[in-house]
Amino acid sequence: MPPPELLANASLKALNAFGVNATAAWLAQVHSEADLVGALGDPRVAACPRLVLGGGTNILFVSDFSGLVVRVQIPGVRAAGETDESWLFEVGAGMDWHQTVRQLLDAGLAGLENLALIPGTVGAAPIQNIGAYGLEIAERLHSVRACVFQQQTADEMSATECEFGYRDSAFKHEYKGCRIVLSVTLALPKRWQAVLGYAELDRELKARSNEPPSAGAIFEAVCAIRRRKLPDPTLLGNAGSFFKNPVVTREKRTELISHFPSLVSYALSGGRFKLAAGWLIEACGMKGASRGGAAVYDRQALVLVNRGGASGRDILDLAREVQARVAEKFGVMLEPEAVIV
Ligand SMILES: Cc1cc2nc3c(=O)[nH]c(=O)nc-3n(C[C@H](O)[C@H](O)[C@H](O)COP(=O)(O)OP(=O)(O)OC[C@H]3O[C@@H](n4cnc5c(N)ncnc54)[C@H](O)[C@@H]3O)c2cc1C
């Protein structure tokens, strides 16, 4: 009998937000650094490929995983000092992100409210530098404690070392597959200022009150918008935005606008533009399109959903069809935001 912390041939269906069938040759549910070291040191998995899993809300399994899946469930929140500008809090990688945002806010610690209701764990948040409504975790992150797979030792990484970009970090490149985040130290501003300027959020706040919004009001407004717009993965399998919004040059945007005057785009620094991927997909007539159980969500074309019974391969095939249609019509290649395994 394997010890309870290492399960053989384990189902991942309940552990991924698409709800697709897949198994892991081995699954370790780790609640502490000691659990992690124990699991990694087990001779049965010494030579196996490894995959880290948090809440499974940004991952698509297209086949079974033939190695060890490490599901990080490390708990804990503790005050970790301060800098001139911020209060620091170290949060265990297995903590639920949204509950952490709420818990800190309830304790009078504002600064994360724009990122409310993003599903998943705290440990996964730096991996793609989660962002929403004008804020990214990069702006509220002091450091990350991460275990180096090979050496089984933990290192402290500063925000600069994480090399954050738009839905991007060093964990997707240099440290891909070789670091496990154990905890994240968040930096919450001592002098809080509302992050506004995101049109949809500003409209929602105005509709609710004439007062300058508090952090609590922003939290509630963000939750309300997200509940209207995005499917709840516990009811309809999905991983949020399946694609990143593509970034193009000024020249490319000008060329596109001349053919598609209603193109939705946002100016970035450095003269580049971010295009709304949902608009591109909708303009290809693919909003609501379904192929078996896999579908483009009919209220937000950036989201792919499992209406029931879709395999990971079905969802990937639909994603490839979306990419091909957008590339053909606009000459723009959509890059998946979700991690495909
Ligand atoms: C309805 C919905 C809405 C969403 N909205 C947003 C949004 O607004 N903004 C946004 O940015 N994202 C959004 N997402 C995507 C998702 O919530 C985030 O990417 C989240 O951070 C994923 O967390 P997770 O714990 O589920 O990670 P998982 O899906 O389990 O893993 C994602 C990646 O992170 C790696 N990983 C996970 N934990 C660790 C760890 N401890 N150490 C090292 N690597 C790790 C995994 O190997 C994998 O590569 C949304 C998803 C859904 C379903």
The CA 125 to ligand 1 mean position distance, Å, reads 6
Pocket of ligand 1, beta carbon within 6 A: 17, 51-59, 72, 93, 118-121, 123-125, 127-128, 130-132, 180-181, 230, 233, 238-240, 339
- Distance separating alpha carbons of residues 314 and 62, to the nearest angstrom: 8
Closest residue CA from atom 34 of ligand 1: 124
Atom of ligand 1 nearest to the CA of 231: 1
The CA 270 to ligand 1 mean position distance, Å, reads 28
User: Exposed, middle or buried, 99 (CB in 10 Å: 0-12/13-18/19+)?
Assistant: exposed
Q: What is the pLDDT of residue 209?
A: 86
Residues 6+ apart with CB under 8 A from 320: none
The answer to whether residue 241 is catalytic is yes
Pocket test for ligand 1, best of 57, 129, 185 (most atoms within 8 A of CB): 57
Specify whether the CB–CB gap between 23 and 64 falls below 8 A.
yes
The answer to whether residue 32 is catalytic is no
Q: What is the pTM of this model?
A: 0.94
Q: What is the pLDDT of residue 3?
A: 44
Specify whether the CB–CB gap between 240 and 130 falls below 8 A.
no
The CA 335 to ligand 1 mean position distance, Å, reads 16
The CA 56 to ligand 1 mean position distance, Å, reads 7
- 199-211 burial, b if ≥16 CB within 10 A, otherwise e? eebeebbeeeeee
- Distance separating alpha carbons of residues 157 and 54, to the nearest angstrom: 19
The CA 121 to ligand 1 mean position distance, Å, reads 7
Catalytic residue among 167, 179, 226, 253: 167
pLDDT digits (tens, 9 = 90+) for 33-50: 989 988 988 999 988 999
pLDDT digits (tens, 9 = 90+) for 142-193: 999 999 877 778 889 999 999 999 999 999 999 998 899 999 999 999 999 9
Atom of ligand 1 nearest to the CA of 74: 41
The answer to whether residue 337 is catalytic is yes
pLDDT tens series, the chain, 341 aa: 444 479 999 999 999 999 999 999 999 999 999 899 889 889 999 889 999 999 999 999 999 999 999 999 999 999 999 999 999 999 999 999 999 999 999 999 999 999 999 999 999 999 999 999 999 999 999 999 999 877 778 889 999 999 999 999 999 999 998 899 999 999 999 999 999 988 899 999 999 987 899 999 999 999 999 999 999 999 999 999 999 999 999 999 999 999 999 999 999 888 999 999 999 999 999 999 999 999 999 999 999 999 999 999 999 999 999 999 999 999 999 999 999 99
